[in-house]
Amino acid sequence: MEFRKKEYAPFDVFDSDWAAITVGNKEKFNSCLVSWGSLGNIWGAPGKSKATVTLYIHPSRYTAQFIDDSEYFTVSFFAPEYKKALAYLGSHSGRNENKIENAGLTAIPIGKTMGFKEAKQTFLCKKLCKQQFDKNSLIQEIKDYYELYPDIYTDGHGGWEPHFILIGEIEEIIE
């Protein structure tokens, strides 16, 4: 696990660089843009803990359905020239079109799931935990944020619903 020795910019890698999560298999998969996430470690003794990626995904995303049925997912990072392609992934649904092809990206098998040929770096992750935030546990400032965007963070009934947390163990990083 040589990737543990590399240096990463954990505060920038999601916030400004963005990423794509891809879930599923060659026959049926989907991707979506993720701009909220973190790198860290959990569930193990010091020096032996699991290296993890934590993502925050809204349940209304088509990709969310694939997460429930999949053991693995990838998180792909791209060079700046792919920002437009990532914006396309984030603004179109795979329910309605082949948004990966329309974004100009090439899906490839990675482990037991899929990733992208164009990615500069891909984390192959094993799903450890998926848990939705409880609305009542959020502070008012965060509730106010969700209330500003009920169409984006919809619960499907005119209100809003919070994201879920997805934690994956990083098994490999492909550069």
pLDDT in tens, 55-89: 999 999 999 999 999 999 999 999 999 999 999 99
**Are the C-beta atoms of residues 54 and 154 closer than 8 Å to each other?**
no
Q: What pLDDT, in 10s, does the model give residues 3-51?
A: 667 777 666 778 877 899 999 999 999 999 998 999 989 998 888 899 9
Domain at 3-174: CATH code: 2.30.110.10
Asked if residue 149 lies in contact with residue 140, where contact means CB atoms within 8 angstroms, the answer is: no
pLDDT at position 15 is 80
| Cβ-proximal residues to 65 (8 Å cutoff; 6+ apart), any chain | 30
Q: What is the pLDDT of residue 172?
A: 95
Q: Which pLDDT score, from 0 to 100, does residue 13 have?
A: 76
pLDDT at 115: 98
Q: Which residues contact 171 (CB under 8 A, 6 or more apart)?
A: 111, 124, 125, 126
pLDDT tens across 110-125, in order?
Answer: 999 999 999 999 999 9
Domain boundaries, the chain: 3-174
Q: Is the pLDDT of residue 165 over 70?
A: yes
Question: pLDDT digits over 130-148, tens only?
Answer: 999 999 999 999 999 999 9
pLDDT tens digits for range 88-109: 999 999 999 999 999 999 999 9
DSSP code per residue over 15-50: TTT-EEEEEE-SSSEEEEEE--EEEEEESSSTTTSE
CA proximity to 31, closest of 71, 74, 60:
74
By CB atoms closer than 10 A (0-12, 13-18, 19+), residue 99 is buried
3-state class of 2 per DSSP? helix
